[in-house]
Amino acid sequence: MKGLTPESVINLTPNVWTEPFWAAAAEHRLVVPRCTSCGTHRMPPTPFCWRCRHQDVEWEEHDGRGTLYSFTVVRHAVIPDVRDALPLIAGIVELPNTEGCRLVGNIVDCEPEAVRIGLGVTTDWYDVREGETVPVFRLA
């Protein structure tokens, strides 16, 4: 897939609050935490609900469709290991039906000139190594 960051620079460090997200990602499933007290979605996963400060969440399955909220094109390799992957398109994707939850990831398999804010995207998966997968996005 064009536009992928080399495995050598991706190091996941899950914690108790993010582990369910990464476990689902390893199965190529997108899940979003939802507060069991007030129903607010929160992404990225955090210890406390930003609305009511409750800690318990349920993990809802999401279809992975979203809208490109913002993006940037990385053309200079600040990290030498990414030189061969340039240009990289780093995007922020807003997930519908989640009260404004957003995910950050690479937009893959397209030229930077094709990317525009507001375009629809779908979630795909980049298997970094055994048991470690990160979401990436494709133009819909």
pLDDT in tens, 96-130: 999 889 999 999 999 999 999 999 999 999 999 99
The per-residue pLDDT for range 92-103, each reduced to its tens digit, is: 999 999 988 999
Confidence of residue 8 (pLDDT cuts 50, 70, 90): confident
SS3 per-residue string spanning the chain: CCCCCCHHHCCCCCCCCCHHHHHHHHCCCEEEEEECCCCCECCCCCCCCCCCCCCCEEEEEECCEEEEEEEEEECCCCCHHHHHHCCEEEEEEECCCCCCCEEEEEECCCCHHHCCCCCEEEEEEEEEECCEEEEEEEEC
The structural domains of the chain, with segments of one domain joined by +, span 7-139
pTM for the predicted model, two decimal places: 0.92
